[in-house]
Amino acid sequence: MDAALDATANQFELNPDQRAIQEMTAGFAADRVAPYALDWDRERFFPSAVIRETGALGFGGIYIREDVGGSGLGRLDAVLIFEALAAACPGFSSMISIHNMAAWMVDLFGSDEQRQRFLPKMTSMEWLASYCLTEPGSGSDAAALRTRAVKDGDEYILNGAKQFISGAGDSDLYVVMVRTGEDGPKGISTFVVPKDAPGLSFGPSESKMGWHMQPTRQVILEDCRVPAANLLSGEGAGFGIAMAGLDGGRLNIAACSLGGAQAALDKALAYAGERQAFGRTIDQFQALQFKLADMETDLQASRVLLYAAAAKLDRKAPDASKWSAMAKRFVTDTCFDIANDALQIHGGYGYLHEYGVEKLVRDLRVHQILEGTNEIMRVIIARHLIGRN
């Protein structure tokens, strides 16, 4: 019985290597991201130089194979990295998450030649990458995308537009989902499109609620010529590639929410211990103590669920997709609420930019939409349940 209890306890403990990853990432975030995050947000400044610095830490290819410069880490390791970065700035962390999704698609689905051509510069962060799936008329219904590619000799000609693309205009590579065949999922293919491809352009930077430190633009393809050698896994493989990336992407964005919520709770605790009202600090009032206790409980519940889901994805457990959807839904909803409660604890000061809480609220809100809306997460979870029964 004691051995069984020890084995169970060990499932919820990070190993020394994982703790070292946490500490290294937190140190970088505290030194190179946190001091500048509010300025980046206010000035709508994309810190590409600082993002590229993370390549030396192995963050350009976290779960990419080592033969092309990747770190060869697991999904739980990645969650720890994104969580720690997001405690300094969720927008910064999410941009690195998106880059890693694009690199992972090339690593898993690219040929040996494609892997050697693209990934060394992606894992080093010499080349930043964006992922292009969503279109003006297709979001959750990804199989309805209309951007089309037609073969012309040794090239394909791409026409269409992608919407809400993070890093667009600043990234060097774009992993783009297009239609090469029939309507529906079987007609979708995936191309790696370099920034200098003829016919590729970008819309104006969107004015957004949050994530101000990274640009979000349309990616516009007008008779855009891409070498046929940039097609991943052949025609018709694109929908499978897109779906394969979603479980990991959902865990990553949940990790960004978790890190942001931890920062919000830390700010709330510090403020409540300093703010005086009615002759004592406000953390001495039981109503606020109960609120803080609930926030901590919800935060730790989110962490346990997320880590468990990441461990399942690492093990390729048959229910990993369900757990990824559950973690994404629960963690992004719960952590947004924690950040919002932290703002409320700050009172009027929480509404001021300089305190950093309102930025966390704005940044975390979009996580309930990205990587499949949380309504779609409920559909996925329900389908798994019904299919099981």
Distance, C-alpha 187 to centroid of its chain: 27
CA distance 27 to 80: 13
Q: How large is the C-alpha radius of gyration of the chain?
A: 21
Q: What residues are annotated to the active site?
A: 371
Report residue 280: phi and psi, to 5°. -155, 165
3-state SS assignment for residue 226: strand
Note whether 214 and 43 are within 8 A (CB).
no
User: What's the distance, CA 71 to chain centroid?
Assistant: 18
Instruction: Give the bridge partners for 165, in sequence order.
Output: 217
Select from 173, 156, 177 the least CA-distant residue to 226. 156
Q: What is the C-alpha to C-alpha distance for residues 232 and 165, in angstroms, rounded to an integer?
A: 20
| DSSP H or E stretch at residue 91 | helix 90-109
Token pair belonging to 69: 């410069």
Helices and strands (H, E) in the chain, number of each type: 12, 10
Q: How far apart are the first and last CA of the chain?
A: 32
